[in-house]
């Protein structure tokens, strides 16, 4: 199959059906705009399985996304979309860059979810983007922006509840959006401990990529814990 795109952690293949792609999850981890990079054996399998589970939960709750089905340990079949050049970050409490940029204490719970966007460009350090810019630059219409906000809000509600049930706090996460050939916007890419901050409610332990970012170790154990708890829906 032809490769449509290859990133740090995934390869996207065109399937014989023009409307479908295959996503292959690699073991590469990157952080701090690709300055830090490592191979973490087995990570791709956890990211694939956790993403598949979360996409399925979203689908069941009526939040449309590109997931069709799991193919094997490292691959999933998805609808083909034209991915928008922007990321939506949803934050329930303060962590990572928002603490540094706004001087907010880590762990501060926001009175309502915070939504922010950035422009996907590593060479430009993924600069901040607001709705006016996203529309003026031709990425989306105002109506599409309203839909993106609505979907992000719904996804946050569903995912927060899913993680709550297994004793995990969803601190923040990143969403990407794609446009189907008929113009419909849906969630694309992945949703996993690589793209979410997940904290064990009982111990405060990070079960996400912060373990890699900040050399905390036990990355695979953490991802395994997330998958096990999701599968059993309990502590």
Cα distance between residue 77 and residue 166, in whole Å? 27
Q: How many residues bind ligand UDP (CB under 6 A)?
A: 12
Q: Interface residues for ligand UDP in 43-102 (CB under 6 A)?
A: 89, 96-98
Q: Could you tell me the smallest distance in angstroms from the CB atom of residue 34 to ligand UDP?
A: 10
* Maximum distance among all Cα pairs of the chain, rounded to whole angstroms: 50
Contact call for residues 174 and 195 (beta carbons, < 8 A): yes
The neighbour count for residue 21, using CB atoms within 10 Å, is 23
Token match 């599409």: residue?
144
Least distance in Å: CB of 111 to ligand UDP? 19
Q: Is 205 in the site for ligand UDP (CB under 6 A)?
A: no
Instruction: Choose the stretch contacting ligand UDP; rule: CB under 6 A; options: 15-23, 74-82, 195-203, 220-228.
Output: 195-203
Contact flag: residue 176 with ligand UDP (CB under 6 A): no
Assess 160 for contact with ligand UDP (CB under 6 A). no
User: Is the torsion defined by CA of 176, 14, 80, 84 positive or negative?
Assistant: positive
Which residue of 21, 140, 196, 219 would you call a contact of ligand UDP, by CB under 6 A? 196
Q: Is 10 in the site for ligand UDP (CB under 6 A)?
A: no
Report in angstroms the alpha-carbon separations of 220 from 2, 9, 48, 162, 193: 30, 15, 13, 21, 10
Site string for ligand UDP, 119-158 (x = CB under 6 A): -------x--------------------------------
Judged by CB under 6 A, which of 173, 177, 212, 223 binds ligand UDP? 173
Going by the DSSP 8-state scheme, the letter that residue 123 receives in this structure is G
Q: How many Å from the N-terminal Cα to the C-terminal Cα in the chain?
A: 41
**Residue 209 in the binding site for ligand UDP (CB under 6 A):** yes
């Amino acid at each position: 199959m032809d490769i449509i795109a290859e990133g740090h952690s995934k390869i996207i293949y065109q399937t014989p059906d023009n409307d479908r792609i295959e996503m292959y999850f690699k073991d590469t981890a990157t952080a701090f705009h690709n300055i830090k990079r490592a191979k973490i054996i087995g990570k791709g399998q956890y990211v694939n399985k956790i993403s598949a589970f979360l996409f399925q939960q979203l689908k069941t709750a009526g939040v449309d996304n590109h997931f069709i089905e799991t193919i094997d340990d490292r691959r999933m079949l998805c609808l083909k979309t034209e991915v928008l050049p922007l990321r939506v970050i949803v934050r329930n409490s303060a962590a990572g860059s928002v603490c540094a940029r706004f001087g907010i204490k880590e762990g501060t719970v926001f009175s309502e979810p915070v939504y922010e966007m950035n422009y996907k460009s590593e060479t430009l350090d993924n600069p901040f983007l607001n709705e006016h810019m996203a529309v003026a630059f031709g990425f989306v219409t105002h109506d599409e922006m309203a839909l993106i906000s609505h979907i992000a809000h719904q996804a946050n509600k569903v995912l927060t509840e899913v993680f709550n049930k297994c004793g995990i706090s969803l601190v923040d996460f990143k969403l990407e959006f794609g446009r189907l050939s008929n113009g419909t916007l849906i969630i694309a890419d992945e949703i996993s401990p690589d793209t979410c901050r997940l904290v064990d409610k009982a111990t405060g332990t990070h079960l996400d990529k912060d373990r890699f970012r900040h050399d905390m170790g036990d990355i695979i154990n953490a991802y395994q814990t997330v998958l096990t708890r999701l599968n059993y829906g309990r502590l």
